[in-house]
Amino acid sequence: MLILSCNSPVPINAGGKPGVRKIVLASSSPYRRELLIRIGIEFKTASPQIDESPLPHESPRQLAGRLAQMKAQSVADLHPDTIIIGSDQVAVIGVEKVGKPGNHARAVEQLKRASGKVMEFFTGICVLNTTSGQIQQDVVPFTVQFRRLDEGTIKNYLLQEQPYNCAGSFKSEGLGIALLERMSGNDPTALIGLPLIRLIRMLEQEGVTVI
């Protein structure tokens, strides 16, 4: 699903100049915040409060897209005349959803299950213009193939990087890259949690230029 803005964008700079609509990232994730900082726009964050339970028969791709939009919409009333960015990520091995482990023991079990297998990530992205009510939404896929991992490798990695708040129990932007055989996708930032290539195009539709 992709709903494009019907208005012709008028380029503006998102650097906080008077009269320029503010940008809000509807996320409490430090990883998404760090990614958005990369493209040099000024923004503030808001923590969305939504029910993230999947609907019956909802695919991982559909779930990621729906939750990204719900996150943006959940903070819209508090932020009039803004551009709100919502994002959510769903990871799966086969048909099994992979969440954030939360602790060492669960991370060990996740990586044992992932050893030698493919893990798919579906990262939903939504840009909501609270002035016009227009919504852009998309889902960006990314796939990683894990190496065969022995228990010693898994435990050594987890003790060094402690990725317990990361879906899949690894950080591809850090030492977790050593666990992987290959990566496949159009945008590596989608794997981290915010697909910047797609986001920049969406922001341009709203007249927000990065360069």
What is the reported pLDDT for 11? Answer: 38
Q: Name the domain count of the chain.
A: 1
In this predicted model, what pLDDT tens digit does every residue of 163-197 receive, in sequence order? 999 999 999 999 999 999 999 999 999 999 999 99
- Model confidence at 12, pLDDT cuts 50, 70, 90, reads very low
Average pLDDT score, the chain: 91
Neighbours of 146 (CB within 10 A): 20
Does residue 5 lie within any of the structural domains? no
Residue 46 to residue 24: CA distance in whole angstroms:
7
Does residue 4 lie within any of the structural domains? no
- Contact criterion met (CB below 8 Å) for 140 and 187: yes
Does residue 141 lie within any of the structural domains? yes
Supply φ then ψ for residue 124, to 5 degrees: -80, 140
Does residue 119 lie within any of the structural domains? yes
Residue 12 to residue 202: CA distance in whole angstroms:
14
Which residues form the catalytic set?
Answer: 88
Which range of residues forms the domain containing residue 201?
12-209
What is the reported pLDDT for 83? Answer: 97
Inform me whether the pLDDT recorded for 14 exceeds 70: no
Does residue 3 lie within any of the structural domains? no
DSSP per-residue letters across 29-82: -HHHHHHHHHTT---EEE------PPPTT--HHHHHHHHHHHHHHHTGGGS-SE
Residue 73 to residue 23: CA distance in whole angstroms:
14
**Euclidean distance between the first and the last CA atom of the chain, given in angstroms as a whole number:** 27
Does residue 101 lie within any of the structural domains? yes
Residues, the chain: 211
Residue 15 to residue 29: CA distance in whole angstroms:
22
What is the arithmetic mean of pLDDT over 143-158? 98
Does residue 184 lie within any of the structural domains? yes
What is the reported pLDDT for 131? Answer: 94
In the three-class reduction of DSSP (H, G, I as helix; E, B as strand; rest coil), residue 197 is classed as: helix
- Better-predicted residue by pLDDT, 10 or 101: 101
In the three-class reduction of DSSP (H, G, I as helix; E, B as strand; rest coil), residue 151 is classed as: helix
Supply φ then ψ for residue 83, to 5 degrees: -105, 120
Residue 175 to residue 161: CA distance in whole angstroms:
7
Residue 63: CATH number of its domain: 3.90.950.10
In this predicted model, what pLDDT tens digit does every residue of 27-58 receive, in sequence order? 999 999 999 999 999 999 999 999 999 999 99
- Model confidence at 21, pLDDT cuts 50, 70, 90, reads low
Neighbours of 48 (CB within 10 A): 21
Does residue 182 lie within any of the structural domains? yes
* Selection from 183, 193, 186, 96 nearest residue 145 by Cα: 183
